[in-house]
Structure 1
Amino acid sequence: MIDTESGVRLEARWDEPDVATGVVVFCHPHPQAGGTMHVPLMHRVTQGLVERDFAVLRFNFRGVGASTGTWDRGEGEIDDVAAAVQDARQRYPDLPLGLAGWSFGALTSLGWQGRSGDDSPYAGIALPVGMFAEPKRLAPAPRVLIIGDRDQFATVEATRAYAKSIGARVEVLDGSDHFFTFRHERVTEIVAQTLAQRLER
């Protein structure tokens, strides 16, 4: 369990290689739509990252699974990301950190970067551009937004426009929707390539 500053306790899981070269905090999709750290895309991308020597921390946002607390409309959930990042840095103080998230998880992890000024590499999978208030001021960092051209919650055009405003690149997966069915390996490759950029500095 991970303790937050507000007293909420978060159910969490570490997946780790024998020797890690980087650490990733990976945030799950919308709690009010059945999102948990165990949904298939989260599981498969995590497996792929571990195979590429990343240690991966997944956690359930407040009110999900065994995590305490209740849904906080994205505000408290940003605090959850902060607590997870702190846990990751304490466990691997000498390794570079990266952030990844799917849908709501992409939004909250980016929101935490905007709030904290963090400049860790970031991979946003199916960021729901236009549905919420995305952060506008971010420290420069390697960032990618991954979107399917059939995404049900954001358009490629809106994603490209937002990416340009924050200096991120965009990867479009043709034929994919919000769930990237049968494309999890390609999603993993893009995430890993982006997060590894800090290792190469």
Structure 2
Amino acid sequence: MPEVIFNGPDGRLEGRYHHSKLPNAPVALLLHPHSQHGGTMNNKVVYTLYHAFVRKGFSTLRFNFRGVGRSQGKFDNGQGELSDAASALDWMQTYNPNASACWVGGFSFGAWIGMQLLMRRPEIDGFVSVAPPANAYDFTFLAPCPSSGLIVHGTADDVVPEASVSKLATKLGTQKNIRVKYRQVEGANHFFGAHLDPLNEVVDQYLSEAIADRPSTPMAESALVAAAN
């Protein structure tokens, strides 16, 4: 899990990167929750997502937004953080020019940033959003949502009401040509404290299904299926 430092729009950004040994491996970028509320790339939910993608053979990056850890700059209410995420994706693509697929995942505030990045970068063809803050941030920019993906929420979330996320998932699920799955983790609060294992199982199952459904090349398909198993 090598530490990496790369250039962002407002200074250097700190990350942790795993480079897959599989040929033409897909890439995944993971985004952490709100910087002003203790969010970092070492958040347990982000860490869980990171390792779920690594196990499936992805080249995977998680990083600190500006002003967090050793990342330079100051919190910018989402606009700057979206630029940070775009720079992180650029960095990964430099080292993975032949990636067979591109995914973004995020938790809470990071899910909101990830979905915005999804709208701006057509090469992103899959997403995992955990506890997207649909009650606090506007998600109407997903009109339409360009990619299939997974939304996960805890039934005992007292920060983001389940009803607001269910409404978002239902709206996205009615769109043509994409499939947005909505999964609940029974009893989990916003931070999934005692429910990281069930969260991991949901994400793991979804990625296995997505890999099987969306192969890219014969070589990449066989390698990814082997990694998934």
Taking structure 2 as the reference length, the TM-score comes to: 0.78
Residues 195, 12 of structure 1: CA spacing in aligned structure 2 closer, same or farther, 3 A cutoff? farther
Bigger CA radius of gyration: 2
Deviation (angstroms), 1:119:
4.3
Deviation (angstroms), 1:92:
0.9
Q: Percent identity?
A: 26
Unmatched tracts of structure 2, length 5 or more: 174-179, 217-229
Provide the residue aligned with 2:177 in structure 1: none
Is the 1:129–1:158 contact (alpha carbons within 8 Å) kept by the matching residues of 2?
yes
Which residues in structure 2 correspond to 1:24-173 (within 5 Å)?
A: 24-95=28-99, 96-117=101-122, 119-134=124-139, 135-167=141-173, 168-173=180-185
* Counterpart residue identity of residue 117, structure 2: W
Count of paired positions? 200
Deviation (angstroms), 1:166:
2.6
Provide the residue aligned with 1:179 in structure 2: 191
SS at match of 2:77: coil
Deviation (angstroms), 1:116:
4.0
Taking structure 1 as the reference length, the TM-score comes to: 0.88
Deviation (angstroms), 1:195:
5.7
Provide the residue aligned with 1:12 in structure 2: 15
Deviation (angstroms), 1:8:
2.5
Distance in structure 2 (CA, Å) of the matches to 1:127 and 1:179: 12
* Counterpart residue identity of residue 160, structure 2: A
* Counterpart residue identity of residue 105, structure 1: G
* Counterpart residue identity of residue 133, structure 2: P
Distance in structure 2 (CA, Å) of the matches to 1:141 and 1:178: 25
Deviation (angstroms), 1:103:
0.8
Distance in structure 2 (CA, Å) of the matches to 1:28 and 1:93: 25
Provide the residue aligned with 1:188 in structure 2: 203
* Counterpart residue identity of residue 170, structure 1: Y
Distance in structure 2 (CA, Å) of the matches to 1:68 and 1:189: 33
Unmatched tracts of structure 1, length 5 or more: none
